[in-house]
């Protein structure tokens, strides 16, 4: 392990407002900055979803204020077909990149990984600061797309070529699409810097006694996520560069010959639209595991705390995370079953896609099996963690349909797909973020969040999200096509009442999130002062003050004596033993995992 004293010599307390809060090298500040950016992005993303849902079922409703943002996209406040797609593109882009990658991974991971392994900071604090500010620049470039020319792109967060590669194919496809590509390329750079940091820190900066197997499960999840991120973003970055070159430099990586747009022959030749899809989805599928694995780790970490007993197998969870990380690079073609790629390869991609069910099933069985015979404690964090299990089961099972190419012939491009990925990413991963917030806000801000408001938030969100996204699956089963700005087809018009139910549920659930925002903001300043260990947790973050000092452990180097989850045994503190406690208390499980 690394000689932390040498590292400490270069790390002095920050002075001044700018160094402390703006251009800070402190991983805790950077983690909060990522969280804050993600929070801002999710609010915008959620508002965009409201606009979409309102337009779908009340298309002639004039939305107050929207015409000031885009007089072309929403004349008189009424959304045009192209503006619907533009809002949809920005919704997906903001949510997948700036929320789901930022908060559970870069946000919580930056804040807690060094503390949980006993380090005083990340391996490369300046790289870390750069990674946030590069990400922030990427966000600003994306946000600017709302206000340029004819607005943001309309090609979806997937930006398939040639629609995304030829500027004349629609409103927003000129400057808007270029800004999108620049934004995402910039985001990739930020993520690559972050991933390098996470990997190096995890491998080299663990304190004495912190073996890999003694790391908490969320630390493992962040570590594996960063390995995935390093490989995946390394493919998306050149893909975006090639797309930019096609758009501005006359290259034809993704544009074949003989295309006619608006009766004009397009002056490109030799490119392959499928190449974009392969590059994008080679990144895109690991990306969705980047979105979910940190939540898996966070939820495991919180569940074991609320169960007050270790999970049935710590090692099985770690091996599952590794298996998922590995398999995530083998399945990208399942997004392309009907894309026109060689149909034999569909069968090849289908196999690992089905196999990835196994580690997820093991995880679910371990979570549920560990709940058996436990001493379940209910609080806001554990409610969202339990809700995560339910959501992941639902979303994972719908994936089982889509993994089979023959069924995908019918379900591809329908609301079934939208229901699937929203359940796993838009709900389950978000539940992981909420669980993490309720669990760790006290440590991050030194003040407790209000538990009553947290429970109300849980109830509204749990029921609300099921009301929104379960019907998506039904709509998909009858072939309701996705990414439509209106339902004019003969068979779609009768489905509008279901869409109305969904839209009302979405607006209700969105309103419930205001309770969370109020709770977070109010508690930040006025919440009850937080003790060091409000949840009787065992891992190292519960050994430092709330909030921790700039160097986390106040100059001392913690020594770890125990596995991370010594719950359910009699220790001097209660029914648990902390990792750094020198008490010689062993459980049956310690160092003798069944698997």
Partner 1 sequence: MAKLVAVTLALITIASAVPILAHIWVPPADISTHGHLIDEQMSDTMAEAGICFIAAQLILAAFIWMFSNRKPGDKIKNFPGGAKGLVTAAFLLVGTEVLALGFFGTRAWADVFLTPASANSMPVQVQAGQFAFYFRYPGPDGKFGPIHPDKINEASQNIFGLDVDNDPDSKDDIVTAEMGVPMNKEIHLLMHAKDVGHSFYVRELRMQQDFVPGLDLSLHFTATKVGRYEIVCTQLCGLGHYNMKAYLNVMSQPDYDDWLKKQASMQ
- 19 lies in the site for partner 1, by CB under 8 A: no
| 109 vs 464 by CB, closer to partner 1 | 464
- 181 lies in the site for partner 1, by CB under 8 A: no
Per-residue buried b or exposed e for 279-291, using 16+ beta carbons within 10 Å of the residue's own CB: bbbbbbbbbbbbb
Binding mask 124-153 for partner 1 (x = CB under 8 A): ------------------------------
Angle at 511 between CA 510 and CA 512, to 5 degrees: 90
E strand or H helix at 545: none
Residues 381, 325, 157, 489: is their CA dihedral positive or negative?
negative
Among 35, 466, 516, 535, which residue interacts with partner 1 (rule: CB under 8 A)? 466
Which residue stretch of 44-52, 190-198, 326-334, 336-344 sits at the interface with partner 1 (rule: CB under 8 A)? 336-344
Which residue stretch of 131-139, 180-188, 252-260, 510-518 sits at the interface with partner 1 (rule: CB under 8 A)? 252-260
Among 50, 124, 484, 508, which residue interacts with partner 1 (rule: CB under 8 A)? 484
| 233 vs 337 by CB, closer to partner 1 | 337
Quote the tokens at residue 247.
């758009």
Q: In terms of C-beta density within 10 A (0-12 exposed, 13-18 middle, 19 or more buried), how is residue 189 classed?
A: middle
- 591 lies in the site for partner 1, by CB under 8 A: no
The distance of closest approach from Cβ of residue 167 to partner 1 in the complex, given in angstroms and rounded to an integer, is 12
| 286 vs 419 by CB, closer to partner 1 | 419
3-state secondary structure (DSSP) of residue 571: strand
| 86 vs 437 by CB, closer to partner 1 | 86
Neighbour count for residue 466 (Cβ, 10 Å) = 18
| 415 vs 516 by CB, closer to partner 1 | 415
Measured distance CA(357)–CA(335) in Å, rounded: 16
**C-alpha 232, offset from chain centre:** 15
Enumerate residues 95-114 that contact partner 1 by CB under 8 A. none
Which residue stretch of 105-113, 187-195, 261-269, 548-556 sits at the interface with partner 1 (rule: CB under 8 A)? 261-269
Among 404, 532, 534, 585, which residue interacts with partner 1 (rule: CB under 8 A)? 404
| 1 vs 504 by CB, closer to partner 1 | 504
- Please choose, from the candidates 371, 347, 343, the residue with its C-alpha nearest in 3D space to the C-alpha of residue 274: 343
The distance of closest approach from Cβ of residue 554 to partner 1 in the complex, given in angstroms and rounded to an integer, is 34
| 2 vs 483 by CB, closer to partner 1 | 483
Enumerate residues 285-324 that contact partner 1 by CB under 8 A. 308-309, 312-313, 316
Cα–Cα distances (Å) from 255 to 109, 174, 270, in that order, read 39, 16, 7
Enumerate residues 560-579 that contact partner 1 by CB under 8 A. 568
Cα–Cα distances (Å) from 312 to 55, 299, 432, 566, in that order, read 48, 15, 21, 12
Binding mask 337-366 for partner 1 (x = CB under 8 A): -xxx--xx-xx--xx--xx-xx--xx-xxx
| 205 vs 415 by CB, closer to partner 1 | 415
| 358 vs 511 by CB, closer to partner 1 | 358
Q: What is the DSSP string of 135-201?
A: HHHHHHHHHHGGGSTT-S--STTTT-TTTTT-GGGSTTTTHHHHHHHHHHHHHHHHHHHHHHHHHHH
The DSSP letter of residue 124 is -
Cα–Cα distances (Å) from 482 to 143, 412, 479, 505, 593, in that order, read 24, 9, 9, 19, 46
**Dihedral class, residue 373 (left if φ above 0, else alpha if ψ from -120 to 50, else beta):** left
Among 3, 16, 65, 490, which residue interacts with partner 1 (rule: CB under 8 A)? 490
Q: Judge contact between 288 and 360, C-beta under 8 A.
A: no
Among 38, 118, 138, 271, which residue interacts with partner 1 (rule: CB under 8 A)? 271
The distance of closest approach from Cβ of residue 532 to partner 1 in the complex, given in angstroms and rounded to an integer, is 25
Enumerate residues 56-95 that contact partner 1 by CB under 8 A. 80-82, 85
| 76 vs 373 by CB, closer to partner 1 | 373
């Amino acid at each position: 392990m690394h000689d932390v004293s040498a590292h400490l010599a270069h790390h002095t307390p920050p002075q001044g407002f700018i160094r402390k809060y703006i251009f800070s090298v402190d991983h805790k500040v950077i983690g909060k900055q990522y969280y804050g950016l993600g929070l801002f992005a999710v609010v915008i993303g959620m508002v965009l979803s409201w606009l979409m849902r309102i337009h779908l079922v009340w298309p002639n409703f004039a939305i107050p204020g929207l015409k000031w943002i885009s007089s072309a996209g929403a004349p008189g406040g009424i959304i045009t077909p192209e503006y619907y797609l533009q809002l949809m593109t920005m919704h997906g882009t903001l949510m997948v990149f700036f929320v789901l990658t930022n908060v559970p991974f870069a946000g919580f991971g930056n804040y807690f990984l060094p503390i949980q392994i006993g380090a005083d900071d990340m391996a490369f604090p300046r790289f870390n600061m750069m990674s946030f500010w590069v990400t922030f620049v990427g966000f600003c470039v994306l946000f600017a797309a709302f206000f340029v020319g004819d607005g943001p792109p309309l090609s979806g967060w997937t930006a398939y070529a040639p629609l995304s590669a030829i500027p004349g194919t629609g409103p927003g496809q000129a400057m808007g699409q270029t800004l999108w590509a620049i934004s995402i390329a910039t985001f990739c750079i930020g993520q690559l810097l972050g991933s390098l940091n996470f990997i190096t820190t995890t491998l080299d900066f663990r304190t004495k006694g912190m073996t890999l197997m003694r790391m908490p499960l969320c630390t493992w999840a962040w570590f594996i996520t960063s390995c995935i991120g390093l490989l995946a973003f390394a493919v998306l970055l050149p893909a975006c560069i090639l797309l930019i070159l096609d758009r501005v430099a006359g290259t034809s990586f993704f544009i074949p010959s003989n295309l006619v747009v608006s009766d004009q022959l397009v002056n490109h030749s030799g490119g392959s639209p499928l190449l974009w899809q392969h590059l994008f989805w080679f990144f895109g599928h690991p990306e969705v595991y980047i979105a979910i694995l940190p939540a898996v780790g966070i939820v495991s970490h919180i569940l074991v705390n609320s169960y007050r007993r270790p999970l049935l197998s710590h090692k099985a969870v770690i091996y599952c995370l590794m298996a998922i990380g590995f398999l995530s690079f083998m399945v990208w073609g399942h997004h392309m079953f009907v894309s026109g790629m060689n149909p034999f390869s569909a069968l090849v991609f289908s196999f690992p896609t089905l196999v990835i069910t196994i580690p997820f099933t093991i995880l679910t069985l371990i979570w549920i099996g560990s709940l058996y015979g436990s001493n379940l404690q209910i609080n806001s964090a554990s409610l969202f963690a339990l809700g995560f299990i339910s959501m992941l089961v639902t979303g994972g099972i719908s994936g089982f349909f889509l993994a089979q190419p023959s069924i995908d012939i019918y379900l591809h491009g329908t609301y079934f797909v939208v229901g699937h990925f929203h359940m796993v990413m838009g709900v389950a991963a978000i539940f992981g973020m909420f669980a993490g917030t309720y669990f760790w806000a006290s440590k991050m801000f030194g003040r407790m969040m209000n538990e009553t408001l947290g429970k109300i938030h849980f109830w509204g969100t749990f029921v609300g999200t099921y009301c929104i996204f379960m019907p998506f699956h039904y709509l998909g089963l009858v072939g309701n096509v996705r990414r439509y700005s209106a339902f004019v087809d003969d068979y779609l018009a009768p489905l509008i009442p279901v869409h109305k139910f969904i839209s009302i549920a979405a607006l209700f659930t969105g309103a419930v999130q205001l309770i969370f925002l109020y709770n977070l903001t109010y508690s930040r300043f006025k919440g009850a002062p937080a003790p060091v260990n409000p949840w009787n947790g065992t891992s190292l973050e519960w050994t430092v003050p709330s909030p921790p000092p700039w160097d986390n452990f106040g100059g001392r180097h913690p020594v770890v004596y125990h596995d991370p989850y010594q719950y359910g045994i009699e220790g001097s503190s209660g029914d648990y033993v902390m990792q750094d406690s020198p008490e010689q208390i062993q459980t049956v499980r310690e160092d003798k995992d069944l698997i």
